[in-house]
A and B are shown apart, each in its own frame.
Chain A
């Protein structure tokens, strides 16, 4: 029963650090990652065995699948086609992705690794951004709407990036189209199947017993497993999390009780916390020591470019949509936090043994911890930052 001790270590440490972060009014994501770093292999190594390490990683994977299911469930296509929103989304992607990609090449990563890094740099943390909009009482301002729709646009791009990257990572060039085609077919299969069966599924979801929650998990795990098995048989990788995303979006059209969805979200909260912990466990200190000048410089450059990138894209969006540089800079400040998606992207796309895997993971772990904390600070003082920068730009001109 040694795994009980390991589970206690994970949940208790996450609880303590999570609570501390809430009292300090900080984002909780870095707290869970730090718990993983402290207690994992590069820290006190409190997890008892390799088997337990694997077990925690599995639970974390469930968390990622549930996160993507949730994003898919909440996702709505309508509304995104408005030209202003499309412009904002594309500007955000263009500026930040290119900045991240260029920097990735500059620090000596391969094309593919730079592409992965650029994706992680581009994508803001919806969780932190949206909760700070509410906490900091920004919802009445017009830019709040722009920011919320930016997050929706980023969800779409995330889905596309995940499909493309997992297919590309499958190896040989001939397999990439096969992989892409299979993924798309599977998505279409799920969407039509759920729509056809919705009349039969819906009454099952409205029952009072354990059947609804069992059905949800059976669907999630069933289709994820199908994606995995298809991938194995075709010698490529079909992303389970993408399947979960589209399953969620298909199920949002089926009538269910609100309670069922809330229950599923609580499972997401729990397993996603374990995922952050498990990702923290992968961090390797040898990179972060001061002797590793390369790592520190790369990290600093990455953080600088990420902040500048969001401010630049924010300024462009603000000028075009709200006719004000200052509003745009506020958009920049609010979208600075990076978090869950940067990590999820990395965790889903690459596995141990690929090129600079350890370096990339450690880099992104440190990057997300710093930018989620700095980003929440930026969000809290967004209006002051916006005014200060806009003021100094005016003086310069």
Chain B
């Protein structure tokens, strides 16, 4: 790895693979990040410009680290049923939910989403029963349409 300062441009981090491929990451002074890939023998490099947020995502994929999920949305679509899109939303439980059960909060009745999993102290509970009581530090996984997920975030989780 080579690190070099490029005044007025930014900082360049450069790696060359044994095959001669080059990868460079440049942190521009504007705050954006450019990712260069130059295959050995290629005429021109491929370049993409990332926002810090995007760069962080790419970075955590590359390091193979488990994504530290705060509020993550995943949309799943299927090639056979093209109009079916399922949104999965993962988030920590809100203060107001602690000590109450899924039934008490009437999550599905109020918003349409279903709680499909719960992660508590590193252990997962798949399809938690309605009487499950939330504890502080729980991560919940809810599933539903995009609108329903939004309603859940608004009404149950108290996010904006």
Across-interface contacts of A83 in B (CB, < 8 A) = none
B123 in contact (CB, < 8 A): no
A133 in contact (CB, < 8 A): yes
Across-interface contacts of A126 in B (CB, < 8 A) = 8
Residue total for A at the interface (Cβ-Cβ under 8 A)? 18
Query: Could you tell me if B22 and A140 are in contact, using CB atoms closer than 8 angstroms?
Result: yes
B93 in contact (CB, < 8 A): no
Across-interface contacts of B44 in A (CB, < 8 A) = 137
Query: Could you tell me if A133 and B36 are in contact, using CB atoms closer than 8 angstroms?
Result: no
B29 closest partner in A (C-beta): A74
Contact pick for B6, options A75, A137, A145, A383, CB 8 Å:
A145
Which of A75, A79, A134 is the most central at the interface, judged by chain B CB atoms within 10 Å of its CB?
A134
Interface string of A105-130 (1 = CB under 8 A from B): 00000000000000000000010001
Contact pick for A151, options B7, B34, B36, CB 8 Å:
B7
A139 to B7, CA, bound (A): 12
Across-interface contacts of A144 in B (CB, < 8 A) = 6
B94 in contact (CB, < 8 A): no
Query: Could you tell me if B8 and A148 are in contact, using CB atoms closer than 8 angstroms?
Result: yes
A149 in contact (CB, < 8 A): yes
**8 A–B pairs (Cβ distance < 8 Å), ordered by A:** A126-B8, A130-B9, A134-B9, A137-B44, A137-B45, A139-B9, A145-B12, A149-B7
A303 in contact (CB, < 8 A): no
B24 in contact (CB, < 8 A): yes
Binding site for A on B (CB under 8 A): 4-9, 12, 14, 22, 24, 26, 28, 34, 36, 38, 43-45, 47
The 5 A-B pairs of least Cβ separation, nearest first, read: A140-B36, A140-B24, A148-B6, A137-B47, A140-B45
Contact pick for B8, options A79, A130, A139, A140, CB 8 Å:
A130
Query: Could you tell me if A74 and B9 are in contact, using CB atoms closer than 8 angstroms?
Result: no
Residues of chain A from 346 to 380 with CB closer than 8 A to chain B in the complex: none
Query: Could you tell me if A145 and B4 are in contact, using CB atoms closer than 8 angstroms?
Result: yes
- Report the minimal beta-carbon distance from A386 to chain B, rounded to whole angstroms: 13
A138 closest partner in B (C-beta): B45
A64 in contact (CB, < 8 A): no
Interface string of A130-164 (1 = CB under 8 A from B): 10011001011000110011011000000000000
A140 to B35, CA, bound (A): 9
Across-interface contacts of A134 in B (CB, < 8 A) = 9, 28, 34
- Report the minimal beta-carbon distance from B78 to chain A, rounded to whole angstroms: 38
A383 to B43, CA, bound (A): 9
- Report the minimal beta-carbon distance from B40 to chain A, rounded to whole angstroms: 12
